[in-house]
Each structure stands twice: as structure tokens, then as C-alpha cells.
Amino acid sequence: MKALTVQPGRKDSLEIRDLPEPPVSDGSVLVECMEIGLCGTDVEIIAGEFGEAPRGTDFLVLGHESVGRVVEAPTSSGFATGDLVVGMVRRLGSNPCEACLKGEWDMCRGHEYVEHGIKQLHGFARERWRTHPESLVRLPAELGRLGVLLEPASIVAKAWENITHIGRRSVLAPSSVVVTGAGPIGLLAALLGVQRGFDVHVFDIFEDGLKPSLVRALGATYHHGRLSESGLSPDIAIDCSGSATVIEEVVKIGAPGGVTCLVGFPRAGTSTQLDLGLAALQFVLGNRVLLGSMNANARHFSQAAAALTAADPAWLERMLTRRIPLEQYREMLPYRPDDVKIVLDFAPHPI
Ligand code: BGC
């Protein structure tokens, strides 16, 4: 069976390999891959800057954003042939910490976890893969291929859950929410903000095109200027740009009692001259919280499924800007200016 693989640490080693069928020891549920989404983490892995092969091998099957169909499952698994499913990314490693053992593997206190398509565990970019029922999420059939957005949506569902928890310490009644970066994560963060009834403002560098149009279609406000010049002092800010200069702006701006959440970080070597003393003063005097958020657990995948199911499918479809047949994988990169989510198509026939 065909799989899209890399040799971690080796630049441009992306290739299709012929692999044996997944062994039953991988799990009782056999899934046929429909689509794989590409994200910044995959780009880093393809560039040889990130990623680890499973122990004993020198290659890694790529793909942690997926959607597929169950082709074989024991009755006891709770899944049935034809179910639309997504595999969760993180799994417990050999020495799970307390958080991992409670199912909060996204809050792992060590580095013992493994991640499909990223860290020591083959990914989902193969024609068929197996897993254990507890690592699978079932989606409503009507979501179809849009289910490929579940994993990125789980990342922002976790961010929103954390923000909400922090808000409960006192009064967090946002008059405005700022999202920086209108890539897939930023757009999904904005979607969840709008679904919560907030006045959402999204910042990016594009003057026009698909990203501003997608933001406006949500009923949110799009800005292409600098956040610091917007006059906004948001109660909630979520940085999805991962850019050091943008993060500096986000950290500097925010209402008292507000929460600033970072879901991305800059590449090594890109830094700014942030005045940490001044930032500390603003955070202390304003009781502000700076929060980092990474990965997602089963609860966040369920929250994400509810968010996608409630969203306009036509809007979600517009996010999938390029759908590339597996054999043409070399056409995925580089990103084009109007790309939002690039997906690899494993099943060319519509379901
Ligand atoms: C994935 C996360 C993962 C992180 C670090 C992200 O792209 O969405 O699930 O934890 O990369 O490996």
C-alpha cells in the first residue's frame, strides 16, 4: 500500500513508499484514508527541521491531520464499517506522566508522548492504517471530507477551553476578541469565537483575497493594518501567526483582566526587543494572563466536532483551497498566497 514518507532530519526526503498492510498489533480498527491536511508542522518535517522516526526505522509516514472511513472493526470497538473517523495525534509513550494517565496527554509534563506523523509514530498519510478505538473520533457522516479540519479545530477548541477556564476566576465578558493570523488555525479560532457570540477581529497582512473574504463571511472584522494602530484593547487575544513581531504586538495590547493565548511560536533565530519589564508591569497591574496552548485531548476533539458540525459547510469547504491527488504530492509546496488548507486526496472518488 502507498504511504507518503520522510526521513526525519533530511531535507526534501519526501517520497511515496510501498509499505506492508498495517499489523493488527497497531489496533483493532482498520481505517481507509480519505484526506490528509498539511500544516506548518508538516512543512518543518519536510524541510528536515522537525520530526522523529519510530524507533528502529529511518523513515516516518507523514500526516497528523486526517479523515477516513472504517473498513474493519470488531463490534466491541463501538465502531462500524463505513464510520467517518479521525485519528487523534498524541498517544501515550512508554513512561506516561500523571496528566497523560488521566487522558490529559495534551498537558504532558514530560516528553514521553508519541505523535502520529510527528514523533516516533507513523502518521495517517497511507492508504490504510490501524488504531485502537480509544484513539479514534467518530464524526457525523454529513461532514464527509471536511472532517480533515477536525485536528486543527481541536487545537483551537483547547485554546478556547483554557481561556474560558481562566475567565472563570473573575469576570471575563469580552467586548472584543482579537485573532492574529488568518491561516487555518486563525480562521478556526475566529469561527469558534463567532460561535460564542463574540465580536471577533482578525489581523493578517493580506489586503484582499480569500482570507479577508472568509473572515467577513463569518461576520467577523478583517484588518490588514497593525494591531497596535487599530485602537483595540481586546479582552481575549489569540495569536495564530507564530510571528515574533506579531506576538510582541499581541503581548503589548490587551484589556485589564484579559487573556492572551499563544498557539504558535516563531522559528529559532527570529526574535524582537520586547521590554519584558514593561510587559510584566502591564500584566501585573491589569491581572492579565499570558497562556501557551499546545495539542488537544479527546475532549477537545469532541468540542471541535461540535464546532465543525455547527459551521456552514460551504464556508469550511472554501478553506480547503487545494486538493492534490497523492501521486502529485510534489505540487503541494510551496504555499501560494491564497492557500489556506492544502489537502492530499487519497480517495479520488467522491463518497
Ligand atoms: C499538532 C499538534 C502537535 C504539535 C507538536 C501540531 O502541528 O497539531 O497536535 O502536538 O504539532 O508536535
Q: Name every residue whose Cβ is closer than 8 Å to that of residue 146 and which is 6 or more positions away in sequence.
A: 67, 308, 313, 316, 317, 320
Residue nearest to atom 2 of ligand 1 (CA): 295
Distance, CA 150 to ligand 1 centroid (Å)? 13
Q: Longest Cα pair distance anywhere in the chain, in angstroms?
A: 60
Pairing of strands 236-239, 65-72: unpaired
Distance CA(289)–CA(187), nearest Å, equals 23
The CATH number linked to 81 is 3.90.180.10
Q: Could you say which DSSP state residue 85 is in?
A: E
Choose among 214, 241, 203: nearest CA to 311.
214
Decide if 54 is inside a domain. yes
Distance CA(139)–CA(84), nearest Å, equals 5
pLDDT, tens digit, for every residue of 18-34?
999 999 999 999 999 99
Distance, CA 89 to ligand 1 centroid (Å)? 8
What is the reported pLDDT for 350?
A: 45
Q: How many CA atoms lie within 13 A of 306 on its CB side?
A: 9
Instruction: From the CA of 65, give the closest atom in ligand 1.
Output: 8
Residues 15 and 60 in one domain: yes
Q: How many other β-carbons are positioned within 10 Å of the β-carbon of residue 341? A: 24
Choose among 59, 62, 61: nearest CA to 39.
62
Instruction: From the CA of 118, give the closest atom in ligand 1.
Output: 12
Distance, CA 294 to ligand 1 centroid (Å)? 7
The answer to whether 85 and 79 have CB atoms below 8 angstroms apart is yes
Low-confidence ranges of the chain (pLDDT < 50): 348-351
Q: Look up the domain containing 187 and give its range.
A: 154-292
Domain final residue pick, 249, 277, 292: 292
What is the reported pLDDT for 76?
A: 97
Residue nearest to atom 3 of ligand 1 (CA): 295
Cis amide prior to 266 (ω within 30 degrees)? no
How many domains is the chain partitioned into structurally? Answer: 2
Distance, CA 240 to ligand 1 centroid (Å)? 13
Residue 38's SS3 state is: coil
Q: Could you say which DSSP state residue 205 is in?
A: S
Residues 182 and 64 in one domain: no
Distance CA(88)–CA(136), nearest Å, equals 6
Residue nearest to atom 11 of ligand 1 (CA): 41
The answer to whether 260 and 288 have CB atoms below 8 angstroms apart is yes
Residues 179 and 124 in one domain: no
Residue nearest to atom 12 of ligand 1 (CA): 118
Q: Is the CB of 89 under 6 A from ligand 1?
A: yes
0.85 exceeded by pTM: yes
